């Protein structure tokens, strides 16, 4: 490739199903002299299968700065580079943003390719009717910080999209139920793979549903919540709960009564009451 056309190509790779690699992505990976990969060993088989001749260089979370310098050098020498992560779109809860920023700052060309991304793939099958969505990615792994982050999102009038690891899905869903009360949760698991499931249910029932079958807790997850009612309305259940708590009722009784009066889920209101008391 000549200097004039040297570019950093941001190339999404499949989430699971190899047939999801686009023809354009395939062509770029086959023809560029360099591929910057999150994990060169992980991406090796894909590149081999494509018959790619490119040399690889690592560009992961811990070396992104140095990788960016090397990539800019290659581009300035007139050689194109494809940037890939282990799966999905680089820079989306994956390394890549720093490399792109450095390349742009150096005045070199960045060419984004459309392609697989767990968030948009999951959303397209969610059936959530919110006009807008907010992509959050991973929540903090520590309980207190996670609940705090969720609290901050509570009144956001957009569908909320999270990534989550299997070993944290139960605690995250429990925290969501405690913070958000009544919402719709859509659980998308193992997208594009053999055990792909997309399941929609009231948030208050989600923990029990996940616990009913350990297989439901396995694999990779996108969790999507319907947005807050516009105008920051807390919902009828929570409004009544707050009144009862303010009147001095014990937590459990307030949750029980608020649930009976409004039809909201008792457990979710109880968790919410505990948080409000904190």
> Exposed (0-12), middle (13-18) or buried (19+): which is 162, by Cβ within 10 Å?
buried
CA distances from 88 to 109, 157, 158 (A): 21, 27, 23
Nearer to ligand SAM, 224 or 241 (CB): 224
Output the CA–CA distances (angstroms, integers) from residue 107 to 6, 227, 250, in the order listed: 12, 39, 63
Which CB sits closer to ligand SAM, 201 or 257?
Answer: 201
CB of 203 to ligand SAM, least distance (A): 18
With respect to ligand SAM, which residue has the nearer C-beta, 112 or 229?
A: 112
Which single residue brings its beta carbon nearest to ligand SAM?
Answer: 88
CA–CA distance from 219 to each of 1, 26, 126, 168, 230 (Å)?
A: 40, 27, 18, 11, 33
Q: CB 58: neighbour CB atoms within 10 A?
A: 18
- Smallest distance, Å, CB 235 to ligand SAM? 27
Nearer to ligand SAM, 187 or 240 (CB): 187
Cβ at position 86, least distance to ligand SAM in Å: 7
Q: What are the backbone angles phi and psi of residue 133, rounded to the nearest 5°?
A: -135, 155
In the complex, least distance from residue 137 CB atom to ligand SAM, rounded to whole angstroms: 7
Task: Provide, rounded to whole angstroms, the least separation between the CB of residue 223 and ligand SAM.
Answer: 8
Q: How far apart are CA 38 and CA 105, in angstroms?
A: 21
- Quick one: 22 or 267, whose CB is closer to ligand SAM? 22
C-beta of 81 vs 186, nearer to ligand SAM:
186
Nearest CA-CA partner of 53 in 82, 78, 88: 82
- Specify the residue for token string 């948030």: 203
* Cα distance between residue 235 and residue 108, in whole Å: 50
Least distance (Å) between residue 243 CB and ligand SAM: 38
Q: How far is the CB of 256 from ligand SAM (least distance, A)?
A: 35
Directed axis angle between helix 40-50 and helix 23-31, to 10°?
100
| 230 phi and psi angles, rounded to 5 deg | -60, 145
Which spans of this chain sit near ligand SAM (rule: CB under 6 A)? Answer: 15-16, 85, 87-89, 92-94, 117-119, 163-165, 188-193, 220-222
In the complex with ligand SAM, which residue's Cβ is closer, 117 or 210?
Answer: 117
Gap between the Cα atoms of 172 and 167, Å rounded: 10
């Amino acid at each position: 490739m000549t200097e004039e056309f040297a570019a950093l190509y941001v190339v999404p790779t499949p989430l699971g199903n190899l047939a999801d690699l686009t023809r354009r992505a395939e062509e770029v990976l086959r023809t560029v002299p360099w591929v910057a990969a999150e994990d060169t060993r992980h991406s090796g088989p894909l590149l081999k299968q494509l018959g790619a001749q490119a040399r690889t260089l690592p560009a992961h979370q811990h070396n992104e700065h140095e990788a960016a310098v090397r990539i800019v050098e290659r581009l300035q020498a007139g050689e194109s580079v494809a940037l890939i992560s282990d799966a999905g779109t680089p820079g989306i809860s994956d390394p890549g943003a720093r490399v792109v920023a450095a390349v742009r700052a150096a005045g070199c060309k960045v060419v984004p390719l459309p392609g697989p991304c767990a968030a948009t793939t999951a959303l397209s099958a969610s059936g959530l009717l919110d006009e807008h969505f907010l992509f959050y990615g991973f929540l903090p792994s520590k309980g207190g910080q996670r609940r705090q982050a969720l609290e901050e999102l509570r009144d956001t009038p957009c569908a909320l999209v999270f990534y989550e690891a299997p070993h944290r899905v139960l605690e995250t869903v429990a925290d969501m139920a405690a913070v958000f009360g009544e919402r719709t949760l859509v659980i998308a698991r193992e997208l594009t793979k053999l055990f792909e499931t997309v399941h929609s249910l009231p948030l208050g029932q989600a923990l029990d549903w996940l616990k009913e079958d350990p297989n439901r807790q396995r694999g990779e997850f996108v969790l999507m919540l319907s947005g807050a009612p516009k105008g920051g309305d807390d919902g009828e259940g929570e409004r009544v709960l707050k009144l009862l708590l303010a009147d001095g009722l014990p937590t459990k009784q307030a949750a029980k009564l608020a649930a009976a009066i409004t039809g909201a889920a008792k457990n979710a209101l109880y968790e919410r009451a505990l948080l409000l008391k904190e």
